[in-house]
Structure 1
Amino acid sequence: MAHTKVALACSVCGSRNYIITANPNRQVRLEVKKFCRYCGKHTLHRETK
């Protein structure tokens, strides 16, 4: 059984910088502050499908 993967996209520029494994028990989309190399600063990244 393969793990499904989702991307974390920057809320400022929209680039998908991080790939994580999907958690089927999570009801809301994950939102974390991470470093965006395209913006050059820490921004809010949201889980995409």
Structure 2
Amino acid sequence: MHPMLNIAVRAARNAGQVVVKAFSQPENIEVIQKGSNDFVTNVDRDAEAAINHTI
């Protein structure tokens, strides 16, 4: 497999682990409103951080 594809797959799997872990503890999920119809959770931010760290 192409090295860049390997990195992308690893990043997606790491982010998936963050999401699965958060899914098992829904009481810890915090929703923040970024805009009028734009919401983000702490899980979204943690998953994005996992992707950035992997890349």
TM range (shorter): under 0.3
TM-score, normalising length: structure 2: 0.24
TM-score (normalizing by structure 1): 0.26
Q: 1 or 2, which has the higher helix percentage?
A: 2
**Between structures 1 and 2, the one with greater strand share:** 1
